[in-house]
Amino acid sequence: MIAIIAILAAILLPVLIAAKSRAQQTGDLSNKRQLILAWTMYANDNNDVLVLNADESASVNGTASWIPQACYMDWKISPNDTNITLLQTNQLGSYCAQQYSLYVSPGDIYLSPVQMLVGMGSQFHHRSRSVAMDAAVGGPASGFSGTGAKPASSLGNFSPFYVATTMNGFGAASISPSLSWVFINEHPDSIDDGILYIDPQHGGQSGTGQFTEVPASYLANGTGISYADGHAEIHIWRGSLANRPVQYTSLRNINVTDDPDLAWLAQHTP
């Protein structure tokens, strides 16, 4: 009898894991569709101007970024790591009907050991945000030099760096809105402020260069992505981003050679 139970468990476990993975992907896809709808509605209500997406999620000339600067994710014990109010009162809050869950991927179940020790996230068992916005989308515009300027001064190799600040701005980019990514799940070890940098020049067609910041892969080696034309998808990584574990440390500046994931992201960044 024990042997039969063990055989059944061995048969059913992969099926259950696959079903859980599909459910997470479906939930994430729904979130990304609703987020990109909120992003589009904001632009429609603001004369085509995209919601601000400044470096370090700073405010610029009195205008707040799409998430407040306080909504900074790390592995420490800051209360902001699990503060859902910051995602209900932000620039897109009313367009999301204060649904803070849209900012969290169902596959993001991570809290650091110290965060679990002090009981952070005890209600939801994760930090408050998984998603980041493309640094090439949303102001301030290229050439701006004040607080929140993009690219950050530490990224001097990002030249030129185009920033789409209006919906019509995608028409001036080298790729169409249907190919320009806007929202993505960022790797739990990489996420901090509300933006994710991908240098479209650095990766180019070859995929040789550097991941300044790193997308997530906890959805069966994939991640949910929203595009500027309003559609969303689960994209499966084929290169260095696949199977990248969460280690509760800082994940930045990953050099790669002939990497299909870097090439793909570079080709989908305005």
Delimit the domains of the chain by residue range: 2-267
Whether 66 and 94 have beta carbons less than 8 Å apart is answered as no
Is 193's pLDDT higher than 90? yes
HEC assignment per residue over the chain: CHHHHHHHHHHHHHHHHHHHHHHHHHHHHHHHHHHHHHHHHHHHHCCCECCCCCHHHCCECCECCCCCCCCCCCCCCCHHHHCHHHHCCCCCCHHHCCCHHHHCCCCCCCCCHHHHHCCCCCCCCCCCCCEEEECCECCCCCCCCCCCCCCCCCCCCCCCCCCECEHHHHHHCCCCHHHCEEEEEECCCCCCCCEECCCHHHHCCCCCEEECCCECCCCCCEEEEEECCCCEEEEECCCCCCCCCCCCCCCCCEEECCCHHHHHHHHCCC
Residue 220 has pLDDT above 90, yes or no: yes
More confident site: 263 or 171: 263
pLDDT mean over 62-69? 95
Say if residue 70's pLDDT is above 60.
yes
pLDDT at position 172: 65
> What are the backbone angles phi and psi of residue 69, rounded to the nearest 5°?
-60, -30
Q: Is 109 exposed, middle or buried (0-12, 13-18, 19+ CB in 10 A)?
A: middle
Distance CA 240, CA 236 (A): 12
**Per-residue pLDDT reduced to its tens digit, 83-131:** 999 999 999 999 999 999 999 999 999 999 999 999 987 777 899 999 9
Averaged pLDDT, 147-161: 81
Determine the residue type at 149.
A
pLDDT at 11: 62
User: Is the predicted pLDDT of residue 6 greater than 60, yes or no?
Assistant: no
pTM (two decimals) = 0.91
Average pLDDT of the chain, as a whole number: 89
pLDDT at 155: 79
How far is 41 from 233, CA to CA, in rounded Å?
Answer: 20
3-class secondary structure per residue, 181-224: EEEEEECCCCCCCCEECCCHHHHCCCCCEEECCCECCCCCCEEE
pLDDT of residue 16: 47
Residue 244 CB neighbours (<10 A): 20
- pLDDT one-digit tens code per residue, 9-42: 566 555 445 556 677 888 999 999 999 999 999 9
pLDDT of residue 133: 98
Percent of the chain with pLDDT over 70: 89
